[in-house]
Amino acid sequence: MPSCGAPLASRQPVIVADNASRTVLMSSPKAGVTQTTMLMLSMLNLTREALSYANVHEYRLRVFDKSSAHRRDQLCDDCGDRGQWTCVRFLRSPLDRIVSSYLTWSLNKAYWPELGLACPGSSENASFAQFVMALSAVVNSSERQTRAFDSHVMPQTPLRACGGELSRLLEVPLEAMPHALRELEQLRKLHDAGAVVWPSLHYKLPKVSLQAAAADVSSWPWPPVKAAMFSERLPAYDNFLTSEICRKLSCLFASDFSAYTRMCAQPEI
């Protein structure tokens, strides 16, 4: 592990819970929150109702989360030593997630002052390398305010309020889905109840030429990256990740790297 300064501050995960089935699912934006939400909704046969809204997250925020049947106020007990709940935390590969976050951030033309410093005069066309530079600047900004899309780039995290790891919390790499539904005993009740892992555009393998596959995409400004996305010729995420960028990300997202490595080392996975 390289010598690091302060990592990025983490955020609380998005949580969906159901009292009747005693199930809690946790994830983060750009790290399976849509799939996790749809997994819960399909288990409860609420998919059709949710799809009548603009998107599933509008339904989750306006309807699902407000129901007393889906309370989340006793998670520390429910997922602790004496709990009888199925509690699952999903994490996505930290490297893949930050590339995905860059793409979403750029498509939505979000802005941070830190990016203006990393990419003076043309922040809307920032490359991935400049985006990572801006993330590094965020760490050193003591007076920084919360900004749009922060939740898409800040580290994935456990429930800090519970004072440590939860003994009944099953940790699953997002990349292990949907096979984990069938193969992990703790998740079989979701599988048996008809829960479905919905496909997501985020995880489609890009169609690339041999020339594009060998490209270093980290320095491409946003316009050619966007053009490659919309023509389905975006090089694989690995092409965004130079050794220097990986070094910086391993510092900024140290907690995610540690948790993801621990998850993947589980014999069941």
Tens of pLDDT, residue by residue over 161-183, are: 565 567 778 889 998 888 888 88
Mean pLDDT of 39-62: 92
Tokens found for residue 83: 């709990």
pLDDT for 1 equals: 47
Q: What is the mean pLDDT of residues 74-98?
A: 84
Cβ neighbours of residue 25 closer than 8 Å, sequence gap 6 or more: 15, 16, 17, 36, 39, 40, 88, 90
8-24 pLDDT tens trace = 766 778 899 999 998 99
Q: What pLDDT is stored for residue 82 in this prediction?
A: 67
Q: How far, in Å, CA of 215 to CA of 168, rounded?
A: 44
Separation of alpha carbons 234 and 33, rounded Å: 23
Q: How far apart are CA 247 and CA 143, in angstroms?
A: 25
Asked if the model's pLDDT at residue 253 lies above 70, the reply is yes
At which residue do the structure tokens 């590339």 appear? 99
Provide the residue count of the chain.
Answer: 269
The conformation of residue 54, written as its DSSP 8-state character, comes to: S
Q: What is the DSSP string of 179-211?
A: HHHHH-GGGHHHHHTT------GGGPPPP--HH
- Hey, how many other C-beta atoms are within 10 angstroms of the C-beta on 11? 18
| Interval 207-222: pLDDT, tens | 444 445 557 899 999 9
- pLDDT for residue 49: 94
Global pTM reads 0.84
Give ∠ CA 235-127-8 in degrees, rounded to 5.
105
Q: Which amino acid is present at 196?
A: V
